Structure formats: structure tokens, C-alpha cells
Structure 1
Amino acid sequence: MTAPLSQRLKSMTGETHDRLDRRIMAAEPFADIANYRRFLAVQYAFHRDLDALYADPVLASLLPDLSARNRLERIGADLADLDAPVPAADGTAPFAPGAIELPPALGWLYVAEGSNLGAAFLYKAAAALGLDGDRGARHLAGHPDGRARHWRAFTGALDGLSLSGAEDARVIDGARAAFTRVHALVERHFA
């Protein structure tokens, strides 16, 4: 029996994910407000890449509360709280409205939603800087229903999709591409 897609994604992207986590923590994003601003710039740039996905009607029909999962505005508000500029677009947006390919988009959303699940630790680190869900760390705050429940709703919908083997592989490739993109953004903003 084949493992659910969410479990295969975790297994097939684990090394890339771990490498990214180590790089982010090596940058010490919670050492001070200046570093946290850099972290917010990374978050904003990545979520700007995904913005079109959250408004896509096909994806919205497949994934629960998709538009409400978009954290771009909250990250923008966090930047504004800290008098940090919105990072300039670099022209590498992987998705354009009306031209979204489902399998890679699912992989990118898996990475974004997984980062929300893992943000509980980051939210506590932001609190040490005096930030919270009302100021500077909105995008790290948990969902009112709970992080785990929110994640399970997403992965349940993902695992319930009927995809071919080739489409599954493209979802995994999309997740790897998303992790690689975040890594590149960390390198840029923490250089």
C-alpha cells in the first residue's frame, strides 16, 4: 500500500527541509530586531511567490479555506510594525494567475502550510523580542482552531486527491523547488 502523499512529501523532501532549517537557524533570525526584519523579508518574498495560488479557483475547490491560509498581508503588517520596507520583487514569481499548474502548486503550498505548523517554536522566539500576534509576529501566530488541526485539514485534502504517479512526482518536485527558493531568499537577505 502506498503511503499518503503528505507522508511521501515529508520523506522525499526531508533532507532539503533539514538543510533549510539549519541555514535559517544559523542566520540567527531572532537574535535581534534587525535579523528578524531580514527573516520577515524572506517570508514576504516567499509568500508573494505564492500569492496567486491562494486565489486560484481550482486549488480553492480542492483545499479547505485556501484563501484564508494566505499570510502575505499579515507578513506585510509585521514589516510595517517594525518600520521595515517590503522587499523589492526580483521577477522570479513562479506562478501567474490563470497559468497555475496544479501539481507543482500543491508542492509549494505544502511547504507554506508546513512552515505554519512549525511556526510555534518561531512564535516563542519572536516573543522574546517583544513581538506577538498583534505586533510584528502576526504571521507566526497559530490558527484559532489550532495549528495541528489546521495542518491535518490541509494534509487530509492533499491526501484525498486522485493524482497519477507522474503528478505525484511533480508535487514532490514542486515542494523541493519551494524549499530551494526559500534557501535562496535566506542567502540573499542574510548575506
Structure 2
Amino acid sequence: MSLGTLRSHLRQATAPAHERVDALLPHGVGRRDDYAAYLRAMHRFVASASLPEGTRERYLPLLRADLHALGIDPDAIARPAVASHDPYERLGWAYVFEGSSLGARMLLRQAQGLGFNAASGARYLHEHAASPQWPALLAQLESSAPDADALHRLVAASNTAFAAVEAALLHALRLERVPA
């Protein structure tokens, strides 16, 4: 299966899950409570997801700093990490996370509109939006040549990752939108 075909298959197979996540923040993070919910959700996801080596260590300190800038205790968010040793499952989780760097560019502009920047409050988005890992992941997908069983595991893991983002975001939105 070529990269174009594999990428198209993954995009199509995960479209409903991706749309559910996008629907939770239909206007992005232009409001402070939506931005806070997004950061809470990404912290929970990055802390618990089966991500490539070094990803958690790279992004969690940035998310923690951003949460502190918004007055949120990140220690109240953490979840135990999910571990997978299957390379196609790990690739599925990475597909979702690294693909989110594309949307991070738009979200970064919105966070900047709220007064946050790479020095305070938008460190994670600044780093993630500039990440070179998406093209690297596409190259890894191209060289993977999964058989039918591996492709099934790749798609299932991608959908599981989207479901984890959705659950984290739903939880975070409930916390942020509770009337004071």
C-alpha cells in the first residue's frame, strides 16, 4: 500500500472519531475557558498516551508550565500512561498526536489572541505547531508496509487515540464550564 493510499485509508477510517473531537471545540480556543480545557485535555492525553519515546518528556513540561500560567494545577490531571509494544499500535497513537500539530498552528494564533505566547501560556502550542515530526511520521508510515492484520491494529489504535482525546476533552470541558 502506498503512502497516499495508506494515509487516505487512515484519514477515512478515523474521520468520524476526528470529527467528534473537532466538534467539541467548534470555534477553537478563542475563549479562555476553551483554551484551559484544551490544555487540560492535552496534558491528560500526553501523560497517558502510548506515544513515541521522548514525546512525553518533550511536551509535558511545556503543558505543565502553560497550565500553571492559567492558574491550573497539572498534578490534578495526570493519568497513568498506556503502554503498547506493538509498533503499529504505537504508530496509530503517533498518527493522531503528530497530526494534531497541523491544527496546533491555528490554535496557537487563537491562544496568542488571548494574550498567551511562547514565553507564557502557549509554550506547548508554540513547540507543537513548529514540530517537524509530522513529515517524519509520514515517512515512517511509508516505510511500514503493513499487512492486513497490522493495518487493522494501526487503524484501531488511531481510533483509540482519538477516543482518548475525546474523553479527555469532554472531562476538561465539564471542569471549565462549571458555573462559579
- Confirm or deny: 8 A CA contact 1:143 1:150 kept in the other structure: no
* Distance in 1 separating the partners of 2:61 and 2:19: 27
Q: CA deviation at 1:49?
A: 1.4
* Distance in 1 separating the partners of 2:150 and 2:108: 34
- Confirm or deny: 8 A CA contact 2:118 2:126 kept in the other structure: yes
Q: 2:70 aligns with which of 82, 106, 127?
A: 82
Q: 1:169 aligns with which of 149, 152, 159?
A: 152
Q: CA deviation at 1:157?
A: 1.7
- Confirm or deny: 8 A CA contact 1:103 1:171 kept in the other structure: yes
Q: Structure 1 residues 143 and 116 mapped into 2: Cα distance closer, same or farther (>3 Å)?
A: closer
Verify: 1:7 aligned to 2:5, yes or no: no
Structure 2 match to 1:53: 51
Query: Which secondary structure does the structure 2 equivalent of 1:160 belong to?
Result: helix
Q: 1:188 aligns with which of 164, 171, 175?
A: 171
CA deviations over 1:54-82 (Å, ceiling 9, x no partner): 32xxxxxxxxxx65994222111211222
The unaligned stretches of length 5 or more in structure 1 are: 56-65
The unaligned stretches of length 5 or more in structure 2 are: 175-180
Q: Supply the AA of the counterpart residue of 1:168.
A: L
Q: Which moved more, 1:121-130 or 1:13-22?
A: 13-22
- Confirm or deny: 8 A CA contact 1:107 1:171 kept in the other structure: yes
* Distance in 1 separating the partners of 2:72 and 2:101: 22
TM-score if structure 1 supplies the norm length?
0.78
Provide the aligned C-alpha RMSD in A: 2.5
- Confirm or deny: 8 A CA contact 2:98 2:134 kept in the other structure: yes
CA deviations over 1:83-128 (Å, ceiling 9, x no partner): 211133345x322xxx522221111111000111211110011011
Q: CA deviation at 1:136?
A: 0.8
Q: CA deviation at 1:178?
A: 0.6
Structure 2 match to 1:152: 135
Verify: 1:39 aligned to 2:27, yes or no: no
Structure 1 match to 2:111: 126
Query: Which secondary structure does the structure 2 equivalent of 1:72 belong to?
Result: helix
Q: Structure 1 residues 142 and 74 mapped into 2: Cα distance closer, same or farther (>3 Å)?
A: closer
Q: CA deviation at 1:35?
A: 3.3
Q: Structure 1 residues 54 and 189 mapped into 2: Cα distance closer, same or farther (>3 Å)?
A: same
Q: CA deviation at 1:171?
A: 0.6
- Where in structure 1 do 4 or more consecutive aligned residues deviate above 6 Å? none
* Distance in 2 separating the partners of 1:70 and 1:101: 22
Q: Supply the AA of the counterpart residue of 1:94.
A: V
Q: Supply the AA of the counterpart residue of 1:158.
A: L
Query: Which secondary structure does the structure 2 equivalent of 1:190 belong to?
Result: helix
TM-score if structure 2 supplies the norm length?
0.82
Q: Which moved more, 1:164-173 or 1:134-143?
A: 134-143
